[in-house]
Structure 1
């Protein structure tokens, strides 16, 4: 039985980090650990909840620092996509995903935290070959359109 309450609106950021932006570029995907709140072991971008009174853009930089170990100076914001929506009946959440595209200036310095089991640099088209969090490909498409 599903909940009779309407799904809770939840805003999150998803950051797509690129290396070699423009030529044979690769995008970073991370595999979510058992210790995060949802979508265990699925692949995602660098992501997190948008905190109260924080803009999605500020939150994006925070998540990159916490989950990839990169400071603001080590990345460059390329584009911000349109919000991608997804209703998850099981979790009773209405996700509003704010997608961002960043160029990573120091990709060799990425260090993931406890939220990730693994990370990989892949060709962007390969996102579709992975078991990802819902609508990750759509969020990527939105981010690259800007």
Structure 2
């Protein structure tokens, strides 16, 4: 089974988190809701990659964010794809949510209460990924 390391970042403002609906232009999980995510590129740490994905997918820079927590890595097996995702979760506070501008990878964005994640059709194990960064300590 192929292993891929990815980052998933949850952006938070006023106790709500940003979820993004994946467009038809992405390689996997089209139409599913997700955090800000992407493959960890060679030479990047997971933290560096999380900041890069946030910049690409929302237009926010490092200065627009405050790191709240880096969560414990989570393994997500997708038998249909024959892939094991090694997910590196992050949680950031956003200083100004009006600056968020989604790119081509997503067709919709919503700020939701974390407990409402279960109401959405998400990428695999998004709720469990959130739970890795839910507590601030």
Shorter chain as normaliser: what TM range?
Answer: over 0.9
Match among 29, 32, 48 for residue 22 of structure 2: 32
Deviation at 1:127, TM superposition (A): 0.6
Q: Which segments of structure 1 move beyond 3 Å, counting only runs of 4 or more?
A: none
1:118-141 alpha-carbon deviations (Å, 9 max, x no partner): 000001100111000000000000
Deviation at 1:54, TM superposition (A): 0.6
Map of 1:4 onto structure 2? none
Listed as ranges, the gaps of 5+ residues in structure 2 are none
Name the stretch that deviates more: 84-93 or 43-52: 84-93
**Secondary structure of 1:63's match?**
helix
Map of 2:10 onto structure 1? 16
Listed as ranges, the gaps of 5+ residues in structure 1 are 1-6
Map of 2:41 onto structure 1? 51
The two structures, once aligned, show a CA RMSD in angstroms of 0.8
TM-score by length of 2: 0.97
Larger radius of gyration: 1
Name the CA distance, whole Å, in 1 between partners of 2:91 and 2:20: 15
TM-score by length of 1: 0.91
Map of 2:124 onto structure 1? 134
Number of matched pairs: 136
